Structures are given as C-alpha cells and as structure tokens.
Amino acid sequence: MTDRQHSNIEDFHNYVLVTGANGGLGYAICCRMIDEFILTRPSSHSLRLIITTRDKTKSHDTVAKLKDHIFRTRKHHKVHEKSPLVPKIYLQSEQVDLCQLRSVQVLIQRLLRSLPKLDTVILNAGHGGFSGVDWPLVIWSILTNFHHALTYPTFKLGGVGDLTAPQVSDISSTEARSTQLGQVFCSNVFGHYLLVHGIVSLLSNSPATSGRIIWISSLEAYDSAFSIDDLQGLSSPSAYESSKRLTDILALSSRLPSTQPWVNGFLPPPSDHQPPKQYVAHPGICATNILPIHWILVYVMTAAFYVARWTGSPWHTVTSYKGACAPVWLALASQEELDAIEENGGVGKWGSAIDWQGEERAMRTEVQGWGVGGEVGDNVDLPKNSRPREAEDLNEDGKARFALIGRRCWQSMEKLRVDWEEILKEEDD
C-alpha cells in the first residue's frame, strides 16, 4: 500500500480525545459527537472516541453509559448495530489525574503506544475550586441586573492558594511547597499543556486536519481576574476565572508572530505540513454541579437560567448537551470551512449560543482585548445581551496589550514546562 493510499484510509478514521468525560460537559460532548457522527458521516467512516477520567471505576461507568447512548441513538433513528450503512463508533478509556504530572506522563506514553494519530483533542477536564457563593451579592446582582448577573457572575467564592500534592516524592517537608502547583491552574491549564506537548506527534499525523486542539473556556474568563505576575492564580480568589482567561490568551494569541518562538517549542512544526491548530470554545451557561450548593438550589438556578433564555439571553444553553454544540462543531467541521471563516473574520472564540426556542448554534464570542476576530473595527453584529456590561469595542491599544500579554504568557508557560520536565527527569535519574 502506498503512503497516499494509507493517508486516504486514515482520513476515514477519526480519532478524538476528550478529557474529563465522566460527567457534565465532557460526557455531553461525547454523546453529541457520537450523535452527529452517526447522522452526518458515511458508512466508510469510523470514530474512535478516547475518553479520560480520573480512575478505572469512572472509566468503566462512563463507557457503559456511552454504549447505552449509542444503542439508544441507533434505536431512535432505526439503525441496526451491524448495519453497513452507518459509521462505526469505538470507545477507548484512559485514566489521568491532570493535577499529577507523573500521571500525565504515563497517559502520554500509553497514547503514543496505542494510537496511530489524533485528529482532535478537546481539553475539557477541569476544577472550579469554588467553596460557595456570596448570597447577599447574588440577591443584589439578580435584582439590579438579571441577565448580567446570570451570565457574568461575580458572586462565586473561590479558595486562595490551593495547591496540588507534591509532584515529586523524594523531598523533605520544607521543600514540599516548591514542588507543588496551583490546583486549579494545573487541572485546567498546565496538565493539559503538558499532555498536548507530549502527544503532538499524534496530532501531526492527522492528514485531514493537521490536528486540532480545542481548549474549553468560559464566559467567566474575566480580564480583571488574571495577572501575568500571578500566572497560576495563587493569590487570587478567582483562580477559576484566571485560568479561563489564560486559556483564552494562549489559544487566541497562538498564531500571532510575536508568540511563535514559544508556540513552536510547545508544538514543534512538522516538516511536511501545517502544525496543529489551536481553537477555543465555551458551552454558554449550563446548569452543572461545579458549584457546591444544595440540590434544591440547583433547581432554582436552572429555572432562572431558562427565564434568562426566554427573555433574550443567547448564552443560557442550560443543558450540557446543548452546551456541547460549539466544541463538537469545531471538532467535526471540515478544515476548509474553519479556514474560510477565519480568513474572513479572523481567529475567534466560539460559544454555544441558543435562541428562546432552544435551537442551539456555534457563535462568535467577544473577548476583552481581542474583540471578535482580533481586528480593530471588525463588523460583527453581536446579539443583544451577548456582551458583558463593561465591554468596549476593540482599539489599537487594547489589541497591542493583548499581544504583549500573549507573548509573556507563552514565554512563561514554556519556561514552566521545560523546568518541570527537567525536575521530573532528574528524579528519574
């Protein structure tokens, strides 16, 4: 078989990795991807869905639920399991603790041994680090600005200085803190960062897409929550929001000329085709269990989200399945379609949007300092209630500041990666 024939065959087999797939948005991404793949792909195609959870019990339960979902989807569309007219779905489960770098390294080696390529990696797993909510502020915010309060909340209470367990074992107690990382930062950003760097050769083997890296962000990626001098958010009560702002910055600035010396270290470009591309998406506002509140209040919160949707909010997807719209679209769209959109409208952040009737779609999202497509004066009419109250149109100063912060973030992340890889290598030696 020639290399070209082998490449054509591999084009028909899609390999997608989803982290944090045992519940919430991650599980919904898997379900929605299965549904859309079955309904839109010819019988000659197949999907291998590689899911990660933190332990074998969660992996076993998740695979069982996804198999049941596949069965129900085929039954709903009256498609027999062995029918030659539908694409095949395969499930592969892996375990990883993104807060433990050794665990990330073990997963990297397993993937390198077991997979020929990866077409898409969806970096969904994460940790909120929330301890509760400021109830007086909740009531005041909702009464004074209902939509803004439920779309861009500032009443969540987060821990300050929460750390992972020590990353190396042979240390004294006085050295323990120096071998720890910010828990939210490591779970949401740095663990994924090391994972992607380690499997870049698999992404580079994708002939159809050159590999896609889809970072999962949030509408709560506030510029005010992030400081370049506190990259891990250890001094901030908004470590979650800080990590999501960092996610936006890394993904959106990854193709700027000023960041390329460090981006090329993170994703060494292959010699024969384009390197993997980074995208960023968010699920809108979903009713998940990320906040530690009483189950009765979860129902109240969900009801409020529906009211927000019915009264004009484009972001209250409410269910995780509808929130999975944008990430799954980014994963399954043709490379030609994505490239054409970016050529006309620039690189942007994609969100799962919805109308009052519950029809979801992928929609551009404004990012402070970047705008909609990274260009001053980009003429995109955003729906009412889709912008934060304090949003300002992008100007040259804001764009320059974003590029500068992007350069510094990439520089800092690459230094951190190299330092930690050296620390772990020294312990092995």
Q: Side chain identity at 363, as an amino acid letter?
A: M
Q: Please indicate whether residue 254 is annotated as part of the active site.
A: no
Q: Please indicate whether residue 240 is annotated as part of the active site.
A: yes
Catalytic residue among 244, 277, 322, 349: 244
Pairing mode of beta strands 120-123, 212-216? parallel
Q: What would you report as the CA-atom Rg of the chain, rounded to the nearest whole angstrom?
A: 21
Alpha-carbon torsion, ordered 333, 336, 337, 342, to 10 deg: 120
- CA torsion sign for 335, 341, 344, 346 is negative
State the greatest distance between any 2 C-alpha atoms of the chain, in Å, as a whole number.
Answer: 68
Catalytic residue among 15, 152, 222, 240: 240
Question: What span, in angstroms and rounded, lies between the C-alpha atoms of 269 and 271?
Answer: 6
Residues 6+ apart with CB under 8 A from 44: 12, 87
Catalytic residue among 59, 187, 204, 217: 217
- Residues labelled as active-site residues: 217, 240, 244
